[in-house]
Structure 1
Amino acid sequence: MSLEQSRAEAVRAAAEAGIPAALADLGKLVRIPSIAFPGFDPAEVRRSAEAVAALAEGTGVFESVVIRDAAIPGTDERGMPAVLATRPARNGRPTILLYAHHDVQPVGDESLWDTPPFEPTVRDGRLYGRGSADDKAGVVSHVGAIRALTEVVGHDFDLGISLFIEGEEEAGSRSFAQFLSDNADALRADVIVVADSGNWDARTPAVTVSLRGNARFTLRIRTLDHASHSGMFGGAVPDAMMAAVKLLSTLWDDDGAVAVAGLAERDAETPAYTEETLRDEAGLPAGVSPIGRGSILSRIWNKPSITVTGIDAPSVRNASNTLSPEVTVVISARVAPGQAAADAYAALEAHLREHAPFGAELEFSDVDFGDGFLVDTSGWAVEDARAAMDEAYGVAPVDLGVGGSIPFVADLVREFPAAQILITGVEDPHSRAHSPNESLHLETFRHGLVAEALLLERLDARTGA
């Protein structure tokens, strides 16, 4: 066995031995309800940042560990606290930036959880709790990988490492671009690892090579100056709910495929993926048919989708014989990789205005969008990452497209155009990120942490990058 192989084996063994400590750290983070949405206690996000900063300091490798926020452009507000830890590269070694986020989604209806969302619970090989997978596992994977490297080579290694743990990703990363600008020198790197994605399945690792963009907005549909009696005027006066139903139905054709002119599709091959797998992973009952056309993964990875994610209208409990004057909905569109999210939003707005029934008044607000991303897979960092995954999982990694969006990746590309970006993660298709009973597959976590430790070892041995 060569000296390089011996060192890699030692790093792998150290990473394996560090899993119990990493899981204990993850459990402590999951107990902190770090929800960055308006209406939730920001002190909990601050407490989470402080806990993450303590983990970074505990590695003993960083010259600087700070908690910082940035201004939210166009407002008088500041973003939620992020952790930034840095150590410079030496002797021609590259610098790697490790990204994850410590904020989490709200829990939603707590009655749908089998166990308390902020009480980490191990059951059937999975760790349940909000943020257990998305994305506090990413935070701990970074820390655990650094610990494994230092266990073998000591603290005086040459690889440059920056650790950036964001505090508002789930709430829209509103200060992200400003944070990058404010801290560009500290964040600049040869390789950026974004640990906020998933794998093909619990056994097979993946490098995410494409992400859809997103365009999200609020739409108010108004047809009356005030509510009116449905018996006295129904049949002659259009109510807002009728207008909303008719208008929203124009967004899809009879197959459920998007029917909006100007929304692009990407033409790319996809791996085999059965309807049976879709039903298992998405929870699609036997009597409900999938929607769209083409291969299933092309619908998820390479085509647009439109979802009505919220609606303000009279509730069932408060229903009365009344014509509603207005209805408000939230529309979330996923945009095919390669199309600018702003162009997709323009197409959506034009479609809705053109199809508004009965002259209904439309008002658009809270517009937010982020561009998709296509990874350049030709660089040496991707090769190193694939090799590390293959060694850690014992299974060759696959290239994965993701139907979800990570809009800030476009900000990273704009701010650091020379960096190679790797999108990885420790989630599997059953993690249920954002949903009740979110969980982390423990074996996937173990393999993912080991893979990242092996990647760090490879980069610390690389010169002339």
Structure 2
Amino acid sequence: MTDDSLLRSIDADFTRTLDELGSLVAIPGIAWDSFDPAELDACARRVESLIRDTGFDDVEILRATRPDGRPGAPGIIARRPAPEGRPTVLLYAHMDVQPPGERDLWNTEPFEATRVGDRIFGRGAADDKAGIMAHLAAVRALRDELDVGVTLFFEGEEEAGSPSFRNFLETYRDRLAADVIVVADSGNWTTEVPALTTTLRGLASLEFEVATLDHAVHSGMYGGPVPDAATAMIRLLSTLHTDDGSVAVPGLVSAPAPEIDYPEDTLRADAGMLDGVRMLGTGGLAERLWTKPSLTVIGVDLPKVDVASNTLQGSVKAKLSMRLAAGQDPEEALQSLKTHLTESAPFGARVTFIDEETGKPWSAPADAPAMRLAHDAMTEAWGTPAVDIGIGGSIPFIADLIELFDDAEILVTGVEDPDSRAHSANESLHVPGFKKAILSEALLLRKLGSK
């Protein structure tokens, strides 16, 4: 099959692909404990049906236990054996999504795939149900020409930190063994320039409480000499960054700066920065995004303004997300953060640590054979040279894949672009880029079968 006929095959099937993506977006499968797990089960059954329609007979919905002994979310494994002497490729994506957040922030229904121009809006339209459909559409496009073994692994709890992932890999290790692993959970440089992700920052996330009183009291009766937890928390959070916005926690490391340049006007537009707001930190922008640590306050428990009373808060909780450069041990970084918070707490406030999460950073080996083939496939599909990028976010489970499948090459690809707004309101998928991503994966599978 020539490249032109392969593209024609993808074109002929593309309406079906988008319709199937829409059927997945409609299912609000969220792996957080506060959401209905029945929706995840429904999503798994729908994905299983799509896999079988793609021609896989060996399809299983499986589970493993979390570290606390509870059952994890459903995961799907489907297999098509490799011809004699050919490699097996594991295609990964995840079917769970982030919560939609405030409905008023969405311009369309969060769980209804809505096309506006070249974009499809909806929770999971990009992250990562489009990753599932890119895999299935690429396999379908090749049809009988597929000359590699294919294992599909679609996880159901990535957005919740993949708590049962390690046990899942260990339990079903023989089913998941592969020569090349393609993780479709990242993005491209722009809607016109494809990219392979070669570095990912690690993660250290922490929830903690600051307390000054054993109960809330009247702000008029006690305000002045009695410290409130809200003020203590605000002052403590202000110690996390220097005046220029760099992370002020001692003990964190930076990795070598990337070669690619990230223009400031592009970043400002991609992030939706308001006029007059200054960038944080020092060094090149790609360096600050990919190879330096960052620290974000992602949640604070305080009364909302419209329901607030005249009260000194006795205790306040906050959640921090710290992203770590390659070479940083996540446990050491987490301990450095805890030490900083304890030593910096004002007024003698009590600091108590609650939930925490860590994930290792990752850096791809330079010039691996499968990576060269992926570069070639992307360049052919998009008509412009592919670039290597880092991602400021984290995919902690890649460390588990490396450890358990140490002979496999790992490629991190994706369908997102800088305006996909994954995790945010108005998440969307760029449709022309999605089609090119399908073509590039089909070309990669063909190249892997002939190497």
TM-score bracket for this pair, using the shorter chain length: over 0.9
Alignment partners' CA distance in 2, 1:274 and 1:18: 37
Match status 1:247 vs 2:242: no
Residue in 1 aligned with 2:104?
111
Helix, strand or coil: the match of 1:269?
coil
Match status 1:43 vs 2:38: yes
For residues 26-71 of structure 1, what are the alpha-carbon distances to aligned partners after superposition, in whole Å with 9 as ceiling and x for unaligned? 11111111112122221111111111111111122x3510001110
Amino acid of the residue matched to residue 254 of structure 2? E
Residue in 1 aligned with 2:442?
453
For residues 385-420 of structure 1, what are the alpha-carbon distances to aligned partners after superposition, in whole Å with 9 as ceiling and x for unaligned? 111101100011000100011111111111111110
For 1:19-38, what aligned pairs fall within 5 Å after superposition? 19-38=14-33
Alignment partners' CA distance in 2, 1:445 and 1:253: 40
For 1:211-250, what aligned pairs fall within 5 Å after superposition? 211-250=200-239
For 1:282-431, what aligned pairs fall within 5 Å after superposition? 282-431=271-420
Task: State the 1:263 CA deviation.
Answer: 1.1
Percent identity between the two aligned chains: 50
Match status 1:81 vs 2:74: yes
Alignment partners' CA distance in 1, 2:36 and 2:436: 34
1:45·1:103 contact (CA, 8 Å) conserved in 2?
Answer: yes
Alignment partners' CA distance in 1, 2:343 and 2:12: 61
Helix, strand or coil: the match of 1:400?
strand
1:91·1:158 contact (CA, 8 Å) conserved in 2?
Answer: no
Residue in 2 aligned with 1:189?
178
Alignment partners' CA distance in 2, 1:120 and 1:175: 29
2:258·2:286 contact (CA, 8 Å) conserved in 1?
Answer: no
For residues 105-152 of structure 1, what are the alpha-carbon distances to aligned partners after superposition, in whole Å with 9 as ceiling and x for unaligned? 1111111111111111111211111110000000000000000111x5
Helix, strand or coil: the match of 1:100?
strand
Amino acid of the residue matched to residue 69 of structure 1? R
Task: State the 1:8 CA deviation.
Answer: 4.5
For residues 55-94 of structure 1, what are the alpha-carbon distances to aligned partners after superposition, in whole Å with 9 as ceiling and x for unaligned? 111122x351000111001x23111111100122222111
Task: State the 1:9 CA deviation.
Answer: 4.3
Alignment partners' CA distance in 1, 2:148 and 2:215: 66
Alignment partners' CA distance in 2, 1:200 and 1:207: 9
Structure 1 vs Structure 2 CA RMSD: 1.3
Match status 1:67 vs 2:61: yes
Residue in 2 aligned with 1:3?
none
Residue in 1 aligned with 2:48?
53
Alignment partners' CA distance in 2, 1:457 and 1:278: 35
Alignment partners' CA distance in 1, 2:308 and 2:10: 58
| Residue among 136, 141, 151 paired with 1:143 | 136
Gaps of 5+ in 1: 1-5
Amino acid of the residue matched to residue 104 of structure 2? S
When structure 1 is superposed on structure 2, of 16-25 and 312-321 the one drifting more is 312-321
* TM-score, normalising length: structure 1: 0.94
Helix, strand or coil: the match of 1:309?
strand
Alignment partners' CA distance in 2, 1:132 and 1:317: 34
1:8·1:457 contact (CA, 8 Å) conserved in 2?
Answer: no
Gaps of 5+ in 2: none
Alignment partners' CA distance in 2, 1:67 and 1:131: 20
